[in-house]
Amino acid sequence: MGILEVKDVNKRFGGLQALGDVNLSVAEGSVHAIIGPNGAGKSTLLNCLVGKLIPDTGSVMFAGQSVLGRKPHEINQLGISRVFQTPEIFADLTVMENVLIPCFAKRDGAFRLHAFETVANETEIGEQAEAMLADVNMLEKRDMVAASLSRGDKRRLEMAMSMVQQPKLLLLDEPTAGMARADTNNTIDLLRQIHNKRDITMCIIEHDMHVVFSLAQRITVLAQGTPLVEDTPENIKGHPKVREAYLGEAH
């Protein structure tokens, strides 16, 4: 049993079958990649996992509990964190505040009227946030307004915000989209380092083969809404079906 179990998930948008009988199992502690050509249903699948979409049929179980019908904040409280394709951060707040908020969410739950406490006095949470910023090499930027960060820094900040919560599962939606090769390599190093240090299960949706083969231990190939194969990177590379559906077009 994996930490995330997707069983027979179907999703239709009008006449389009976006997902057809998707089965997926993500093992605890692993890095699992979902790849596939454009329009394969990768993002639809991800949206079904975080509560943005509800599948027509099938079940999504996370750590023994169904996530279907739960709101995004409830799913996060279960332990699933998400990183978006275009960074979603609190642009008007400082870098430090951006990381503090997930820490408070983790400690205090979805709502708490802590109107008479002071952020500056919460030393334990402050230290957590600082340690996380140090891990992503952004400690010296802690007082900068997040909107003024570079694109790459915004992405690193968003990852820091997700990872500081110590999620049981981290979902990454194309974490290197639109990055130059050097930035991509930095991101790969960062993810690998965080994965080893904090032992976070990751599920990566990615377009870039380089990223996938550098990080993933298991790969699921999605084509036209159905999983084609699931295997280790070595076997995927040479798989004839995958070449036909995906690599053949891309290379």
Partner 1 sequence: MLGLSKKDTTFLLIVIFLTMATPILLQPFPEGSAMATFNAGYPDLMQRFAIFGIFAIGFNILFGLTGYLSFGHAAFLGVGSYSVVWMYKLLDYNVLPGLVLAIITSGIFALAIGYISLRRTGIYFSILTLAFAQMSFNLAYSVLTPLTNGETGLQVYTDDPQILMGENAPNVPHLFGLVMRDSYQLDLGGWLFTFNIGYYFCAVIAILAFYLSLRIFRSPFGMMLRAIKTNQTRLNYTGLNARPYTLAAFVISGMYAGLAGGLLAAMDPLAGAERMQWTASGEVILMTILGGAGTLMGPVLGAGFIKYFENIFSKINDTMLHGWFGWMPDGIEDAILFVSHFFVGKSWHLTLGLMFMLVVIFLPGGLVEGAQRIGRLFRRRGRKAGGPEAEAARQRNPGPAE
d(CA 117, CA 119): 7
Please state the closest distance from residue 222 (CB atom) to partner 1, in A: 22
Nearest to 204 by CA among 24, 44, 34: 34
Cβ neighbours for 220, distance < 8 A, ≥ 6 positions apart = 24, 32, 33, 34, 35, 227, 229, 230
**Chosen residue from 29, 72, 178, 248 binding partner 1 by CB under 8 A:** 72
d(CA 234, CA 113): 51
**Chosen residue from 113, 124, 182, 238 binding partner 1 by CB under 8 A:** 113
Please state the closest distance from residue 54 (CB atom) to partner 1, in A: 16
143 touches partner 1 by CB under 8 A: yes
Cβ neighbours for 160, distance < 8 A, ≥ 6 positions apart = 98, 99, 132, 133, 135, 136, 138
**Chosen residue from 54, 110, 134, 250 binding partner 1 by CB under 8 A:** 110
Spell out, one character per residue from 198 to 237, where the chain touches partner 1: x when CB under 8 A holds, - when not: ----------------------------------------
Residue type, 234: E
Residue 146 or 223 having the CB closest to partner 1: 146
d(CA 71, CA 223): 28
109's tokens: 């739950």
77 touches partner 1 by CB under 8 A: yes
The interface region with partner 1, picked from 32-40, 129-137, 143-151, 243-251 by CB under 8 A, is 143-151
Spell out, one character per residue from 151 to 190, where the chain touches partner 1: x when CB under 8 A holds, - when not: ----------x---x-------------------------
The interface region with partner 1, picked from 20-28, 138-146, 193-201, 237-245 by CB under 8 A, is 138-146
203 forms beta bridges with 32, 171
